[in-house]
């Protein structure tokens, strides 16, 4: 799991966020202000590579809830995995008056110039969701998200627990370094073999991805587990492919969806690694607010982790309640 220095930094910074956003004597969150206060003039911008689907809509809700709580303007935009579009959005945000910027960084090089322009303009920035290894190079003061290697290690350990021997790791965005890290992390802790499998653009065509996964399973009868690094691909492609080949193949995934939770409840998915994306959106706005309003930069130059959290049949009912509320 976490190395001790990183874990301590992450937990300590998270505790400070809680303290700073706790109740003050006036009943308002400390450091926040009522809606008619000058904080309304603060514009915070969250620009991700997201597509607005089941995962990213929860990130957005977290950001919107935090913006409402702090009485600030929020510009939230996803780029649907288009790195050049994301870079252009960041550049437009700089000229459009962003006081703080949070950006995901699955392809850090694609947004380096844009993020450097934000730094040159004196705009506080963080990375969110992806970019834990590159945030400092992008001029961000911290990263909020999940260390993908650590998440993968958790998955590898779980595959050991369920007795798998050979895992097909299905990657749905070939250029996303974080997804590759999930597979690499699983290979570190898994006692058997992890085979990386490119199902690029799977989210755009789950049926086509199903055919690819089915072909891979048919070609290698030794594969007895699938690690889908997307919940939507797990339920929309991997599970139908497994049903088609008619073998007993275990499934693990990353992130949550209504279908994935139902599959965990029914035993069709063994586990999910949850990075708790509501917290990513919420903390992104909180951290930027504190940086802009109070000149407080949290994290101590290290990432602040929101996961991994493990979801299995043992705790799926409790997790479902949070999903129903839109906060997980």
pLDDT of residue 212: 95
Fold exhibited by the domain 4-146+276-307:
Rossmann fold (3.40.50)
- Structure tokens belonging to residue 272: 């999910």
Structure tokens at 103: 């950006």
Strand pairing category for 271-274 and 309-311:
antiparallel
Pairwise CA distance, residues 122 & 263, whole Å: 47
Q: Would you say 46 and 128 are in contact if contact means Cβ atoms under 8 Å apart?
A: yes
How high is the pLDDT of residue 173?
87
Q: How many CA atoms lie within 13 A of 99 on its CB side?
A: 19
Q: Supply the pLDDT for residue 283.
A: 98
The two structure tokens encoding residue 95: 């000229």
271, 252 in Cβ contact below 8 A?
A: yes
- Residue 58: in which H helix or E strand, if any? helix 56-70
Q: What is the pLDDT along the chain (328 residues), one digit of tens a residue?
A: 333 334 434 444 444 444 444 433 333 443 444 444 545 699 999 999 999 888 899 999 999 999 999 999 999 999 999 999 999 999 999 999 999 999 999 999 999 999 999 999 999 999 999 999 899 999 999 999 999 999 999 999 999 999 999 999 999 988 788 899 999 999 999 999 999 999 988 888 999 999 999 999 999 999 999 999 999 999 999 999 999 999 999 999 999 988 999 999 999 999 999 999 999 999 999 999 999 999 999 999 999 999 999 999 999 999 999 888 888 8
Q: What pLDDT, on a 0 to 100 scale, did the predictor assign at position 39?
A: 57
Tell the residue number behind the tokens 């088609």, with chain if given. Answer: 244
- Contacts of residue 260, defined as CB under 8 A and 6 or more positions apart, other chains included, come to 231, 234, 235, 253, 269, 272
What is the Cα 60 distance to its own chain's centre?
A: 12
CATH 3.40.50.2300 residue ranges for the chain? 4-146+276-307, 148-274
- Per-residue confidence (pLDDT) for residue 117, from 0 to 100: 98
Question: What is the Cβ-side half-sphere exposure of residue 300, based on CA atoms within 13 angstroms?
Answer: 15
Q: Provide the whole-model pTM.
A: 0.77
Residue of 284, 230, 233, 292 lying closest to 104 (CA atoms): 284
CA torsion angle 225 230 231 237 (round to 10) = -70
User: Which pLDDT score, from 0 to 100, does residue 118 have?
Assistant: 98
Identify the DSSP state of 236.
I
| CA 67/CA 60 separation, integer angstroms | 10
Q: State the distance between the two ends of the chain, measured CA to CA, in whole angstroms.
A: 22
Burial class (CB in 10 A: 0-12, 13-18, 19+), 194: buried
CA distances from 165 to 52, 181, 315 (A): 35, 20, 25
Total H helices, total E strands in the chain:
12, 12
What is the residue whose two structure tokens read 């965990």? 264
CATH architecture entry for 148-274: 3-Layer(aba) Sandwich (3.40)
């Amino acid at each position: 799991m976490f190395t001790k220095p990183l874990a301590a930094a992450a937990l300590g910074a998270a505790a400070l966020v809680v303290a700073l956003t706790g109740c003050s004597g006036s009943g308002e969150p400390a450091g926040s202000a009522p809606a008619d206060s000058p904080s309304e003039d603060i514009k915070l911008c969250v620009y991700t590579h997201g597509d607005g689907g089941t995962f990213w809509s929860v990130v957005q809700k977290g950001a919107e809830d935090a913006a409402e709580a702090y009485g600030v303007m929020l510009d939230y935009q996803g780029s649907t995995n288009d790195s050049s579009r994301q870079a252009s959005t960041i550049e437009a945000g700089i000229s459009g008056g962003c006081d703080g910027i949070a950006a995901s960084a699955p392809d850090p090089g694609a947004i380096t110039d844009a993020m450097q322009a934000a730094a040159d303009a004196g705009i506080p920035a963080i990375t969110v969701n992806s970019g834990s290894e590159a945030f400092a190079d992008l001029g961000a003061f911290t990263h909020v998200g999940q260390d993908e290697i650590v998440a993968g290690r958790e998955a590898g350990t779980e595959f050991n627990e369920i007795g798998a021997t050979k895992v097909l790791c299905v990657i749905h965005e070939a250029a996303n370094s974080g997804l590759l890290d999930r597979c690499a992390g699983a290979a570190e802790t898994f006692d058997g073999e992890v085979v990386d499998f490119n199902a690029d653009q799977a989210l755009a065509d789950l049926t086509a991805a199903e055919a690819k996964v089915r072909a891979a399973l048919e070609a290698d009868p030794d594969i007895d587990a699938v690690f889908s690094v997307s919940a939507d691909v797990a339920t929309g492609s991997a599970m139908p492919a497994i049903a088609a080949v008619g073998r007993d193949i275990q499934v693990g995934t990353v992130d949550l969806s209504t279908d994935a939770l139902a599959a965990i409840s029914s035993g069709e998915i063994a586990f999910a690694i949850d990075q708790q994306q509501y917290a990513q959106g919420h903390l992104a706005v909180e951290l930027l607010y504190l940086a802009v309003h109070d000149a407080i930069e949290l994290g101590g130059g290290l990432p602040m982790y929101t996961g991994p959290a493990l979801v299995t049949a043992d705790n799926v009912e409790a997790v479902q309640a949070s999903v129903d509320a839109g906060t997980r």
